[in-house]
Structure 1
Amino acid sequence: MLRLEKNYSNSSTSGKTNLKCVRRVGWVVWLILHLGVFYMERFLFGGLCLETCRCLYSTLLASTTVGLTLCRLRLSLHVPAN
């Protein structure tokens, strides 16, 4: 019985660590998307792809946000096996 409680405790800590990792990855992806679109708009195409870049950015940001939200939800609802 003590072993099960110990495993549950370790699993809970691992879930929190995974959630922090997911958040960090999310911020890194968000930053890369912002910098990448800024670079493409301003320097690579001289501002010609404004609408295309914004559309691409919106699509990537939306899919990243949905993916991270689902991952966070899965981690927060994770119940370790007995």
Structure 2
Amino acid sequence: MRELSEATGRRIRFVPLAPGEFVAELTGPGWQAAEAEDCAEAVSPMRRGMGSHTSDGVWRALGRRPRDFTDYAKAAVRTWHD
């Protein structure tokens, strides 16, 4: 969140939620329960830290080296404000 906060100039924080809380946050605004549960399942590996390793996925999918998240955040913020 530090990278996004610095890039946007706004305080952005991560609030960890248990799967049931996450589903409730999605269904409150109108998501269907089944869709919310599917989304909770899809992000479960990230919540458990399973996406913290570096792999060659960007190279294989896009044919280029991955870029640093800080660089991505800075570039993305320019797009969000255009």
TM-score by length of 1: 0.33
Look at both structures and tell me which one has the larger radius of gyration over its CA atoms: 1
Q: Which has the higher contact order (CA 8 A, sep 6+)?
A: 1
More helix by share: 1
TM-score by length of 2: 0.33
